[in-house]
């Protein structure tokens, strides 16, 4: 199989944008480029051209021209396109897996086993939703119509590049919207491969467009543009605030999936031998670079020593190293700024007096190059410590003791975030009761399987709106009431 990097280079896609069904060179007056760095080697692997306001305007106008026709296509026609896209994602799974490993460091086994197949699931769910969704329903003599919002700007992050693209694109296209995608400039290569896939799937011109660029330039241009009807961003809370501020003068819809500091409450009757190792695995999934990662483990104070031992054993079994090696479970942190953030926050935990159970600052083992971080667990963490309040976005777990279940619930809710949460226990009545009291958009009970139909989004500063499943598509729909329609 041809190397994805070689493919992108030989096809000339690194210097182009996908607009109106064509690969086009930038037309903007500000020439700029972003260097993509392999986090495992710290070496440049590609350079992509970045756009500006003129390129964004060109893409938005193409999406606007295409909207009238695409929004009126029968749902079966939109489903047929998504079906082709779904098939091509699976057909090119290894190609996407390789490029994800190169651009953001996910272990190749994780890219193959999670990053790409879970991304494909978002397209499948969007396709399947169209089979039975009622875009027009009767309420007495009134017709309640659900219609596409319009042209949507989609801003996606570097930590789950393809996964977040498909979550947004699948739902938006299923609803009948047209889109302009701005992927992260730190991991733009998988987005270029996806744009090529959309073209190969026969996407009508203007329905899907891609412009690479930075948040302050391309992201801001999308958010403020009067011809964009909706912005959907996945990113930091800081980035979400900036997008919302830029969008406010045009009163467009803004959907935000932002930061998190998710709690994992292990109740006194839990099976600790199962709950703790699974909790460590969940916290360190994607090397902790997930906004919903349960990086606060809340445990009964009387079980602290047992939990520390179980957690340390689980963390010691992780294999951090060359992400292309089949034996590796966890690769490097995705980029230098994030690596430095993780090192800083580990230092903060030590300075605050938390007990270091395993890990610490620096690279693991004999690794000298690459953004590799040591899986780190702190214990005896107070709820007011920075490592318990701030999103670290790396392999750092805080174990926090509690005295009563009510205390655990209060600690769980004591952050500005509310994206995800976990509860473990054997008495399901209690488990469900605790889940109902947690302020978060999603709660996992006893580590269930991932459900691509479960809506995902946040309370508080974790954002607003929902992605995935039926609710994910409905974010891209307006509601129209037509009175007297059924008389």
- 135 burial class (0-12, 13-18, 19+ CB within 10 angstroms)? middle
* Strand pairing category for 32-38 and 43-50: antiparallel
- Length of the chain, in residues: 487
Using the 8-state DSSP alphabet, how is residue 383 labeled? T
Distance between CA 237 and CA 139 in Å, rounded? 39
Active site residue 257: yes
Distance between CA 208 and CA 154 in Å, rounded? 10
Distance between CA 140 and CA 2 in Å, rounded? 59
Task: List the one residue out of 386, 380, 153 whose CA is nearest residue 261.
Answer: 386
Q: Which residues of 147-164 are buried (b: 16+ CB within 10 A; e: fewer)?
A: bbbbbbbbbbbbbbbbbb
Contact yes or no for 168/114 (Cβ under 8 A): no
Q: Which of 185, 196, 257, 308 is catalytic?
A: 257
Side-chain half-sphere of 361: how many Cα atoms within 13 Å? 11
Q: Name 68's Cβ contacts closer than 8 Å, sequence gap at least 6.
A: none
Q: Which of 177, 291, 308, 391 is catalytic?
A: 291
Q: Is 190 helix (H, G, I), strand (E, B) or coil?
A: helix
Instruction: Return the active site residues.
Output: 257, 291
């Amino acid at each position: 199989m041809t190397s994805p990097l070689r493919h992108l280079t030989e096809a000339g896609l690194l210097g182009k944008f996908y607009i109106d069904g064509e690969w086009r060179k930038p037309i903007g007056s500000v020439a700029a480029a972003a260097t993509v760095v392999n986090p495992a080697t710290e070496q440049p692997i590609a350079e992509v051209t970045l756009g500006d306001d003129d390129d964004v305007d060109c893409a938005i106008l193409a999406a606007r021209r295409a909207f009238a026709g695409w929004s009126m296509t029968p749902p079966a026609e939109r489903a047929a396109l998504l079906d082709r896209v779904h098939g091509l994602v699976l057909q090119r799974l290894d190609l996407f897996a390789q490029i994800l490993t190169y651009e953001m460091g996910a272990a190749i086994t994780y890219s193959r086993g999670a990053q790409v197949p879970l991304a494909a699931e978002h397209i499948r769910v969007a396709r399947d939703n169209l089979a039975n969704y009622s875009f027009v329903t009767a309420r007495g003599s009134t017709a309640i119509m659900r219609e596409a919002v319009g042209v949507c700007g989609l801003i996606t992050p570097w930590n789950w590049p393809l996964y977040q693209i498909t979550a947004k694109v699948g739902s938006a296209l299923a609803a009948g919207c047209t889109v302009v995608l701005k992927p992260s400039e730190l991991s733009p290569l998988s987005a270029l491969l996806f744009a090529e896939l959309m073209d190969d799937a026969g996407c009508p011109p203007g329905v899907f467009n891609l412009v690479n660029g930075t948040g302050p330039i391309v992201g801001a241009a999308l958010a403020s543009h009067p011809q964009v009807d909706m912005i959907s961003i996945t990113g930091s809370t800081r980035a979400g605030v900036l997008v919302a501020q830029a969008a406010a003068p045009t009163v467009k819809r803004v959907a935000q999936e932002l930061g998190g500091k998710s709690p994992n409450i292990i109740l006194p009757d839990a099976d600790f031998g199962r709950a703790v190792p699974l909790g460590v695995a969940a916290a360190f999934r994607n090397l902790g670079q997930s906004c919903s990662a349960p990086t606060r483990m809340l445990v009964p104070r009387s079980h602290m020593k047992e939990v520390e031992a179980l957690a340390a054993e689980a963390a010691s079994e992780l294999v951090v190293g060359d992400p292309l090696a089949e034996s590796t479970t966890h690769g490097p942190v995705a980029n230098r700024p994030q690596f430095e953030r993780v090192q800083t926050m580990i230092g903060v935990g030590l300075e605050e007096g938390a007990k270091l159970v395993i890990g610490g600052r620096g690279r693991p083992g004999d690794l000298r190059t690459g953004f590799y971080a040591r899986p780190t667990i702190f214990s005896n963490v107070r709820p007011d410590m920075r490592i318990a309040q701030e999103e670290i976005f790396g392999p750092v777990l805080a174990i926090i003791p509690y005295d009563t279940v009510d205390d655990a619930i209060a600690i769980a809710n004591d952050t500005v975030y509310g994206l995800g949460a976990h509860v473990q226990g054997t008495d399901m009545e209690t488990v469900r009761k605790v889940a109902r009291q947690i302020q978060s958009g999603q709660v996992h009970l006893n580590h269930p399987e991932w459900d691509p139909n479960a809506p995902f989004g946040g309370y508080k500063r974790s954002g607003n709106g929902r992605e995935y499943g039926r609710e994910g598509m409905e974010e891209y729909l307006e509601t129209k009431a037509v009175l007297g329609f059924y008389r």
